[in-house]
Chains A and B, each alone.
Chain A
Amino acid sequence: MTEIYTIYSAAAAMVMILLWGDLLRRRTAEYVDRRHAAPLRDRCLRMIVQSDGSADGALPPIRRRSERMRLAEVLAELAATTDVAARSRTDSIVAAYGLDRLVLRRIRLASGYRRALWLLRLARLNPRPETAQAVRRYSSSRNRNVRFCTLLCAIAAEPLRSLHTVACWGDTLSRFETAQIVTLIFRGRMPVACTPLLTSPHDNLRMLGLGVVRRIGADETFPILLNIASSDPDRRIAREAMYTLCALHLPLDCRDVVRAMAMMPAAERKSLYRFMAFEGYSVRALSELFREQERQYFESLVESYKCRIPCPR
């Protein structure tokens, strides 16, 4: 009996030590961030944001490698959400501080998801073709995220060849990967035509075309979307075309949509109904699509999305 109590006490003590250790680690990380990382991040942000527009403005010297790494992180983060880092300004900052060499070194030393994260940051820093060539060897990595971020680097380095690069990529694009590529292409302000992408024989380019259509709301591609939804040989792309039709709030009461829905298994149909309800389709708009009991299910979904509209007093 005493031995059991001893074992339990030891286990409880071990758990408490681990919990306290984790708490201490988090508090320490917060302290370091507050004292050092946050002010440095703020300083880098000020340097980039407040010097926007003056591509020839002098850059302050930053000697410490950790500070330059922080600058690379901030610049990559800014490039993802703002247009502040015009290409000339980004190139001048990257060249002045050797950020591309630093990031390449970090990519070489990292592994797994950290390597993917640094590859993503490199893609946002407008890499040169030589830089993208240096990371090309990671396109055969076992980690899918690393392979995908290498693709992003190749697209960012040579935007004019982006469609060819995407077509040659060995994996099939997921919806989120497609969205990231579309964002990167639009950042490069490269005109992209939807129709050739949607009618392309390459699966990845058709996925990319659907992503572009969703991004810009290209209603005029309605006939092509219907055709893909009802007769595309890849069921995944046909399903994605259905979601694109719903996202654009296009009419769904037509023969092609009925045919497309008929080919879907029950679970996929239910998932699509949830999306349709979220997008605001009414029961009447979809009356042609329902099988038995699906109408009640969709009505319950529509009721769950209704909310009180506050009226001014």
Chain B
Amino acid sequence: MKRIALISSDSALRRTVALALECAGAEITTDTRMEELRTCDIVVVIGAAAFASGRLSVESLRRCGEHRPEIFVISWQHTEQTVLSMLECGVDQYMTFPVCLGRLRIKAADK
């Protein structure tokens, strides 16, 4: 069973995404401690602010030489510059709001 961590300050959005991913048979955790995040298969970050402010970075989430966990970002930012910056930083999937939860489930199941 996949282990997916959710990072979001919005409890309603967090609950919605968690429900959607539970349908894919995943175990959801909202523990944001770095040790816990590193043990997950996928980390879903809702909002790009954590990366933009430097509070969160791909290097801090992953151990040296490993490509785990996979990082998904769901954000309201639609501009090409933001999307490319995120992908160049090492984010695996960047999705924009309004997010298609079915597509998110499929991508989480594929990884």
Contacts and interface: CB of A to CB of B under 8 A. Distances in A.
Interface string A82-118: 1110000000000000000000000000000000000
A53 B101 CA distance: 10
A217 B99 contact: no
A216 to B, nearest CB: 7
Given A77-B12, A217-B78, A307-B54, A46 B99 contact: no
Given A49-B16, A310-B54, A310-B57, A187 B78 contact: no
B54 A80 contact: no
B16 A82 contact: yes
Contact of B23 (A50, A81, A83, A216): A50
B1 interface: no
Contacts of A310: 54, 57
Given A217-B81, A309-B54, A310-B54, A49 B98 contact: no
Contacts of A247: 79
Contacts of A78: 16
A285 B50 CA distance: 28
Contact of B102 (A42, A84, A309): A84
A78 B97 CA distance: 11
Interface residues of A, number: 27
Contacts of B80: 217
Interface residues of B, number: 22
A49 B102 CA distance: 9
Interface string B1-40: 0000000000011011001101100000000000000000
A91 to B, nearest CB: 17
A46 B98 CA distance: 18
A149 B4 CA distance: 38
Given A49-B23, A310-B54, A217 B102 contact: no
A19 B62 CA distance: 49
Nearest to A216: B78
A272 interface: no
Contacts of B15: 42, 45
A83 B54 contact: no
A164 interface: no
B16 A80 contact: no
B16 A45 contact: yes
Nearest to B10: A81
A215 B78 contact: yes
Contact of B98 (A52, A83, A214): A83
Interface of A: 42, 45-46, 49-50, 52-53, 77-84, 187, 214-217, 247-249, 307, 309-310, 312
30 contacts: A45-B15, A45-B16, A49-B19, A49-B20, A49-B23, A49-B101, A50-B20, A50-B22, A50-B23, A52-B20, A52-B102, A78-B16, A80-B98, A82-B16, A82-B97, A82-B100, A83-B98, A83-B102, A83-B103, A214-B79, A215-B78, A216-B79, A217-B78, A217-B80, A217-B81, A248-B79, A249-B81, A307-B54, A309-B54, A312-B59
Interface of B: 12-13, 15-16, 19-20, 22-23, 54, 57, 59, 78-81, 97-103
